[in-house]
Amino acid sequence: MTDFQAMLRADLRGGSPYGAPQLDVPVAVNTNESSHPVPHDVVEAIAAAVTRVAPGLNRYPDREFVELRTALAGYLSVTTGCEIDREQVWAGNGSNEVLQHLVQAFGGPGRIALGFTPSYSMHPIISRGVGTTWVDGLRDASPDRFDIDTDLAVAQVREHDPHVVFLCSPNNPTGTALRLETVTAVYDAAPRAIVVVDEAYAEFARPGTPSALTLLPGRDRLVVTRTMSKAFAFAGVRLGYLAADPQLTELLRLVRLPYHLSSVTQAVALAALTHARTMLSMVEQIKASRDALVQGCTRLGLDPVPSDANFVLVGGFADARASWQHLLDRGVLVRDVGLPHHLRITAGTMQETQSVLDALALTLDQDG
Ligand code: PMP
């Protein structure tokens, strides 16, 4: 029998793939999707768009996805008030692919990527996947404090002198947004690095949390990534994007596969973007559901971390793994992110949040 482990690249041996369980349960609140289905009028627009492009599927799609980049630039400009130009925008099949393009171009063998854990688990996996050395930075000297200590971050950046720095705001799995001073301090401390601010959850931030997009002018090594998977309620389409200096985005063409965004993806994303207001209409409800989740968990004697996202990291479990299983036994799938005493819970519909809180109450009784 072939020993595939022996054949595998040495730096991948013993690694674990991304593995959020996909289970058929009544309340799936483990991957920070939107629980709200695509509204009917957008479904009709999507169907019409697919019908329009279907006869042309014998041809490759627009490799430069010009119309989609224009629409994404418009969306960012309107929703954030930052003037973003089409040439600043790049997109891929989910922001995961966009992040991969970044490390393919600016990381790789002999190069270093630095992030501040706990953060999005794919940052190290994507970096290592292209042979980049990953450095796990600390957010704070005390491991149970999740806000980034700016001075500590700057010191770690200076020590490792990385080629790519990952920041995540609001941060997954902790939920809190970064202060812009932290982003600029890290940027200034990393003169040879591409500094990526992963803003997958930006639309859920509480008031007074400006986007790092406001920092782009004059900072040509700064990249802000976004996705249609979360607030835009479009995870199944796989469309993520970024805004950065046009000369930087130009270089990403060196690593993308030709025609990486299918004609169907482009048409469907464009159709949804023309209904952006409808697609975003559930954001306020989701934020209310998140706040209800925080309050409910507090009432149950748990320790939720304040959140700017559509999920809450909840501390205070005696045995997080056991509680995860007991919640699943009650039809509620949450995320064990591997942090002792913590579970991460997505804010779904109000009804789902109530089901989560009911199941948590029973589970806490059971677990004592
Ligand atoms: N960044 C963060 C912080 C995330 O949590 C996720 C999804 N869980 C992504 C990026 C990737 O999302 P997508 O590929 O669907 O855009």
pLDDT at 207: 87
Q: Per DSSP, what are the bridge partners of residue 226? A: 241
Q: Is the CB of 168 under 6 A from ligand 1?
A: yes
Low-confidence residues of the chain, pLDDT below 70? 367-368
- The structural domains of the chain, with segments of one domain joined by +, span 22-38+281-367, 40-275
Which residue owns the Cα nearest ligand 1 atom 6? 200
Output the pLDDT for position 16.
84
Burial 198-235 (b: 16+ CB within 10 A, else e): bbbbbbbbeeebbbbbebbeebebbbbbbbbbbbbbbb
ipTM of the complex: 0.99
CATH level 3 topology of 22-38+281-367: Aspartate Aminotransferase, domain 1 (3.90.1150)
Contact yes or no for 321/17 (Cβ under 8 A): no
pLDDT of residue 154: 98
Q: What's the CA gap between 177 and 210, in Å, rounded?
A: 9
In this prediction, residue 368 carries a pLDDT of: 62
Please give the pLDDT value at position 284: 95
Q: How far is the CA of 227 from the centre of ligand 1 (A)?
A: 7
Q: Is the CB of 94 under 6 A from ligand 1?
A: yes
Non-local (6+) Cβ contacts of 8 within 8 A are none
Which pLDDT score is estimated for 15? 84
Do 40-275 and 22-38+281-367 have the same topology in CATH? no
Task: Give the distance (Å) from ligand 1 centre to CA of residue 292.
Answer: 24
Cα–Cα distances (Å) from 207 to 210, 276, 307, in that order, read 8, 20, 12
Check if 170 has its Cβ closer than 6 Å to any atom of ligand 1. Answer: no
What is residue 365's predicted lDDT score, i.e. its pLDDT? 86
pLDDT at res. 14: 86
Query: How many whole angstroms from 367 Cα to the centroid of ligand 1?
Result: 32
Strand runs labelled E in 322-364 = 332-333, 342-346
Omega cis (within 30) before 173: yes
Q: Does ligand 1 lie within 6 Å of residue 332's CB atom?
A: no
The dihedral built from the CA positions of residue 75, 81, 86 and 87, taken in this order, carries a sign that is: negative
Give residues with Cβ within 8 angstroms of 230, minimum separation 6: 32, 33, 34, 200, 201, 203, 204, 310
Determine if residue 89 is left, alpha or beta; phi over 0 gives left, psi from -120 to 50 gives alpha, anything else beta.
Answer: beta
* Other residues' Cβ atoms within 10 Å of the Cβ of residue 58: 6
Question: Is residue 227 lining ligand 1, measured as CB closer than 6 Å?
Answer: yes
The listed CATH number (3.40.50.300, 3.40.640.10, 3.40.190.170, 3.40.50.970) that belongs to domain 40-275: 3.40.640.10
Give the Å distance between the CA of 171 and the centre of ligand 1.
Answer: 11
Cβ atoms of 314 and 304 closer than 8 Å: yes
Say if ligand 1 is within 6 A of residue 304 CB.
Answer: no
75 Cα: distance to centroid of ligand 1 (angstroms): 19
The residue behind tokens 């008031």 is 207
Ligand 1 midpoint to CA 136 (Å): 19
Residue 173: per-residue pLDDT: 97
d(CA 197, CA 190): 14
d(CA 218, CA 142): 34
Q: Which residue in 352, 360, 271 sits closest to 315, CA to CA?
A: 360
- pLDDT tens profile 335-351: 999 999 999 999 999 99
